[in-house]
Structure 1
Amino acid sequence: MLRPEGLPPVQYEVTPLQGGYDQITSAYNLTPGALRDCINFACRSQGGYYRIPGYERIDGQPAPSDAEFIVLDVTMNPGESLPPVGAFGTFGNIEGVVCYVDPLGLYIAITKAAVVEEEN
């Protein structure tokens, strides 16, 4: 890589993520790599940190993890867009609320699904 003349070389410093969760020590006195504040992370017993799963709400409503959903492969016509998450739609003979849209547009997931009866 070309470096403009007169600039000093880039220097790297590795900071191992260790030291634990410390809310008592002053930020100026914390050892490098110690956690001052975090969300959904925990300390490993061997050192370092790991991400823990998020929390699920408990407010008397049905738990989101109990939701049933159907994954549908989709083929969209050119210029046609996928419905956004939260939109109600009919997909062939199935209707429901879109709860996930694949970033590549290959499939969607719907919840609260129902079969639409054909009218004669």
Structure 2
Amino acid sequence: MKQVIGWTDAAPPFKTPLIERCEAALALPLKDQTVETMRLLLGQGIAIDMLLPGALDILELDILASGDLYEGDLLASCQRLPASYWREHPDHWVRLDSILRDFDQKVDQVNKERAGFMANNPFGAKL
């Protein structure tokens, strides 16, 4: 991936743990990227064109897919991509929007079922 995106191996003035993690992630072939490495690189704005299609594939299966930070951190990294990226890739924007709309419908259904569950609460309004 490093060669494709033009990442140089020139040493920065100092290597931070973040730089080291990004370099390690970029050393992996695209097919070996994990939720965490995608979250990390997308969050840094690195290799977006290469990684986002795979990230969207994952989010279609599990919108709350998580790397090392928290449940749904991959989604958060995708949603934080700059508007300029989405303007240049409207197909990706439409795809993420569809994933989010599908999730909204599922949450709405859960909330409807929850209302019925709470209405049948044998313990009264409060526990």
Range class of TM-score, shorter chain: under 0.3
Asked which structure has the greater CA Rg, the reply is: 1
Q: Could you say which structure has the higher strand fraction? A: 1
TM-score (norm 1): 0.22
Q: Could you say which structure has the higher helix fraction? A: 2
TM-score (norm 2): 0.22
